[in-house]
Amino acid sequence: MKVTKPKQGEAIDARASALREEVRMIFKNVVEPLDQLELIDQLQRLGLDYHFHDEINRTLKNIHTGQKNETWEKDLHATALEFRLLRQHGHHISPEGFKRFTENGSFNKGIRADVQGLLSLYEASYFSIDGESLMDEAWSFTSNLLKDCLENTVDLDLQMRVINALELPLQWRIPRFDAKWYINLYQKSGDMIPAVLAFAKLDFNIRQALNQEELKDLSRWWSKLGMGEKLPFARDRLVASFFWSLGITGEPHHRYCREVLTKIIELIGVYDDVYDVYGTLDELELFTDVVQRWDINAMKELPDYMKLCFLSLISVVNETTYDILRDHNIDTFPHQKKWFNDLFERYIVEARWYNSGYHPTLEEYLKNGFVSIGGPIVMLYSYICTEDQIKKEDLEFNEDLPDIVRLACEIFRLSDDYGTSSAELKRGDVPSSIHCYMSETGVSEEVSREHMMNLIRKKWAQINKLRFSKENNNSLSWSFVDIMLNLIRAGHCLYNAGDDGFSVEDVVAKDTLVSLLVEPIPL
């Protein structure tokens, strides 16, 4: 028999499977609850958790129902880590356990020196449910103390982790965007397990190679469409659009979803620029009407650049309708058409406001803005492209924009404004949330920005509450809500909350892109 040498790809796959099994065995042999929690946390941050869903769920379920010993109860880090991971995975745990670290409702000064404990409590506080005052206290206590700690901590790695956490908490991050950073830290840490490290590096590179392939196909689509040249005023940022899709669903098997989302996000970006920057109000009214009727015969009334917009829209909607009908026996055409109509209805409201010099109140602005940011449409596309079984009732339920969807999209709008409003104001656009609030209350931009950050945290706590309440979102699976939240997490990461002055085109930092999509990790 002729022996053929395995191709390089096959050898890599074999090595990955072997490492995956090795890590599975390691997981099985870890028995102490704290060790288990730490391993789960590490796997998540290394970007490996998707290989071990069953193990992770089983372990957390046992920890949720199991007894803790006395040492555990004195350990702030253990208590906080348990709280965060259980809540992240949908197990309700009360914050009562933190009372052991308080006196008269305030956290003990004695825990000041426990930087690891403070850091874990800080991360846990972002899983608070609206109304849990002890967790609010935990947040302000830890975020202030951690800032002070930065000056006194000698452990440089711990210092780096604190800086990273203060920038954005884990609940607001996409772990894959930070995987390289974390792999580097993990490599140096005392409890590093070589097989886990090796698997993390290899898996990162395998996914990167897959993403490069996807991006190549998508670039072909985009350059064939030629919109970059035909509509030079519009943003031409395919890689950034791909990046968003990667944040929303990064797992390899969601490739189709990334393809559709990248196209949708790229096109939405172009249409948004047409409404915000380029089109005259008359043209925009006409365009909105033609799309509303979805009337290819009426297209002749449009200027050429708008014909390209309409045709590209029809083409993506038709293609996606075809795929979903073929694979799921459900006709989503009327739904997709509605999602775009709802979006353009909000775009035209903003264009009218801008043209008439109207200044909406923050409330009025947000009511329109949580849709005009594109959150609902991207979430709805994520639904039809990731669910194994698309249910008509789920689709309709989502289209009604239940509170959890609305809150998430409001956060998305607020964080977009946080990152893009300065550039938009200079260029000429409707006043953003920050400026609406300023003219409404007379506060400075700095105060207004702080107010928006508090609003964002408050809305997250409301989302956490809804996730745990049965009545409000019973038709959405825990995992789908997580995909939905990934959109706003990607927003937090890409708009780099806390920083201002990005021009809209530079929102996605180049080095992050290169690091994730171009440079493999040396093995």
Tokens 């239940």 sit on residue: 402
Burial class for 93, CB neighbours closer than 10 Å (0-12, 13-18, 19+) = middle
Residue from 234, 247, 416, 449 touching Mn ion (CB under 5 A): that is 416
Distance, CA of 322 to CA of 301 (rounded, Å): 28
Question: Residue 239 interacts with ligand 0FV (CB under 6 A)?
Answer: no
Question: Residue 317 interacts with ligand 0FV (CB under 6 A)?
Answer: no
Residue from 274, 324, 504, 516 touching ligand 0FV (CB under 6 A): that is 504
Residue from 272, 324, 448, 488 touching ligand 0FV (CB under 6 A): that is 272
- Which of Mn ion, ligand 0FV, none lies near 268, with the C-beta cut-off 5 to 8 A by kind? ligand 0FV
Query: Cβ 350 to Mn ion, closest distance in Å?
Result: 6
Are the beta carbons of 87 and 60 closer than 8 angstroms?
no
3-state secondary structure of 104: coil
Comparing CA positions, the residue from 363, 347, 375 lying closest to residue 491 is: 375
**If binding means CB under 5 A, how many residues of this protein chain bind Mn ion?**
5
| Structure token digits, residue 244 | 């968003």
Residue from 59, 128, 372, 473 touching ligand 0FV (CB under 6 A): that is 372
In the complex with Mn ion, the residue whose CB is nearer, 73 or 505, is 505
Distance, CA of 414 to CA of 399 (rounded, Å): 21
In the complex with Mn ion, the residue whose CB is nearer, 88 or 421, is 421
Binding mask 318-357 for ligand 0FV (x = CB under 6 A): ----------------------------------------
Whole-number Cα distances in Å, 220 to 87, 213, 254, 255: 42, 11, 20, 16
Comparing CA positions, the residue from 62, 100, 65 lying closest to residue 80 is: 100
Distance, CA of 37 to CA of 41 (rounded, Å): 6
In the complex with Mn ion, the residue whose CB is nearer, 259 or 410, is 410
Distance, CA of 344 to CA of 347 (rounded, Å): 5
Binding mask 41-70 for Mn ion (x = CB under 5 A): ------------------------------
Are the beta carbons of 354 and 428 closer than 8 angstroms?
yes
How far from chain centre, in Å, is Cα 443? 30
Query: Cβ 275 to Mn ion, closest distance in Å?
Result: 6
Distance, CA of 83 to CA of 97 (rounded, Å): 9
Q: Which stretch binds ligand 0FV (CB under 6 A): 194-202, 266-274, 283-291, 302-310?
A: 266-274
- Which of Mn ion, ligand 0FV, none lies near 374, with the C-beta cut-off 5 to 8 A by kind? ligand 0FV
Q: Which stretch binds ligand 0FV (CB under 6 A): 35-43, 194-202, 218-226, 371-379?
A: 371-379
- Which of Mn ion, ligand 0FV, none lies near 269, with the C-beta cut-off 5 to 8 A by kind? ligand 0FV
In the complex with ligand 0FV, the residue whose CB is nearer, 82 or 416, is 416
Question: Residue 269 interacts with ligand 0FV (CB under 6 A)?
Answer: yes
Comparing CA positions, the residue from 161, 129, 158, 125 lying closest to residue 140 is: 125
In the complex with Mn ion, the residue whose CB is nearer, 107 or 271, is 271
Query: Cβ 436 to Mn ion, closest distance in Å?
Result: 11
Query: Cβ 513 to ligand 0FV, closest distance in Å?
Result: 14
Distance, CA of 94 to CA of 66 (rounded, Å): 15
φ/ψ bin of 231: left (φ > 0), alpha (ψ from -120 to 50), beta (otherwise):
beta
Binding mask 420-459 for Mn ion (x = CB under 5 A): x---x-----------------------------------
In the complex with Mn ion, the residue whose CB is nearer, 79 or 432, is 432
| Residues 244-263 within binding reach of ligand 0FV (CB under 6 A) | 244
Which residues touch 436 (CB under 8 Å, ≥6 apart)?
359, 360, 361, 362, 364, 365
The strand pairing partners of 107, in sequence order, are: 102
Distance, CA of 345 to CA of 365 (rounded, Å): 14
3-state secondary structure of 3: coil
Query: Cβ 260 to ligand 0FV, closest distance in Å?
Result: 12
Distance, CA of 49 to CA of 244 (rounded, Å): 20
**If binding means CB under 6 A, how many residues of this protein chain bind ligand 0FV?**
13
Query: Cβ 477 to ligand 0FV, closest distance in Å?
Result: 21
Residue from 121, 165, 265, 351 touching ligand 0FV (CB under 6 A): that is 265
Residue from 33, 95, 117, 374 touching ligand 0FV (CB under 6 A): that is 374
Distance, CA of 417 to CA of 109 (rounded, Å): 38
Distance, CA of 85 to CA of 258 (rounded, Å): 27
Q: 258-268: buried (b, 16+ CB within 10 Å) or exposed (e) per residue? A: bbbbbbbbbbb
Q: Which stretch binds ligand 0FV (CB under 6 A): 111-119, 185-193, 269-277, 438-446?
A: 269-277
Binding mask 259-278 for Mn ion (x = CB under 5 A): -------------x---x--
In the complex with ligand 0FV, the residue whose CB is nearer, 139 or 244, is 244
| Structure token digits, residue 510 | 């180049």
Query: Cβ 413 to Mn ion, closest distance in Å?
Result: 8
Comparing CA positions, the residue from 476, 246, 492, 253 lying closest to residue 383 is: 476
- The H or E element containing residue 385 is helix 375-386
| Residues 194-213 within binding reach of ligand 0FV (CB under 6 A) | none
Which residues in this chain contact Mn ion in the complex, by CB under 5 A?
272, 276, 416, 420, 424
Using CB under 6 A as the criterion, which residues of the chain lie in contact with ligand 0FV when the complex forms?
Answer: 244, 265, 268-269, 272, 276, 372-374, 378, 416, 420, 504
